[in-house]
Amino acid sequence: MNIYDWLAKHDIKISSHQLIDDAFTHTSYVNEHRQALHDNERLEFMGDAVMQIWVSEKLFLHKPVLSEGQMSKYRARIVCEKSFARLMRQMKLYQFIRLGAGEEKSGGRDRDSILADTFEAFIGALYLVAGMNEVNKILEKYVKPLTDNPENLEMTDYKTRLQEYVQSDIRKAVTYRLLKESGPSNNPVFEIGAYLDEVLLGKGSGHSKKEAEQMAAKEALRILVK
């Protein structure tokens, strides 16, 4: 499957392929190829604007009515790197990103920043080549559940909580190590350990290293507090 198969599966019609190709092209890929290519950085700007206004409108129309402070808080939790990276994994769009060999080897396809930037670029490109009606088909399916239930967006940063807990007693930093990687290349599972010096505090698993680190920190907190 390629990105155009994915779009067809979602009944999305586009007028041009060029900007969609650009949206999935990382700077590392452009740097390693001589042909005239464009990366997705300018499209990120457009996609961010589309997401800001779309999410703002959904939160403004939410029932029961949300205060300005609530809308700002919830929008910040939806229109952010972590949220967009999660959507890329949920939609399985990460498989279409064009990365340079070095970036691919270093785990760029699992990096939240690259996933989030590509999501913004994709939304920006889709808006330009297909219009808002087609963009809505994606956002209504994948993002509207977030704006419908914004109270469920409370995101606990277990890594920060664990570090604060440790530093309240000793001035040392918690480190995270990859223990195991399993599963297919397009849907890997990472097992990460949270360590204080050489002591394993807790382990956690996830489909990204950052998610696994959070789960390891959560388990470490549970054990330490207990």
Report domain extents, the chain. 3-153, 158-225
Q: How far is CA 136 from CA 98, 126, 133, 141, in A?
A: 25, 10, 5, 8
H or E, element range at 182: strand 175-182
| CATH assignment of 158-225, among 3.30.160.20, 3.30.1490.20, 3.40.50.300, 3.30.360.10 | 3.30.160.20
Instruction: Please list the pLDDT of the chain residue by residue as tens digits (226 residues).
Output: 999 999 999 999 998 899 999 999 999 999 988 776 899 999 999 999 999 999 999 999 999 999 998 898 889 889 988 889 989 999 999 999 999 999 999 989 989 899 999 999 999 999 999 999 999 999 999 999 999 988 776 556 788 778 878 877 666 889 999 999 998 887 788 999 999 989 999 999 988 888 899 899 999 988 887 6
Catalytic residue among 103, 120, 134, 211: 120
Closest CA to 23 of 148, 118, 147: 118
pTM equals 0.70
Which of 44, 48, 134, 213 is catalytic? The answer is 48
Active site residue 48: yes
- CATH classification of 3-153, choosing from 1.10.1520.10, 1.10.3210.10, 1.10.3720.10, 3.40.1400.10? 1.10.1520.10
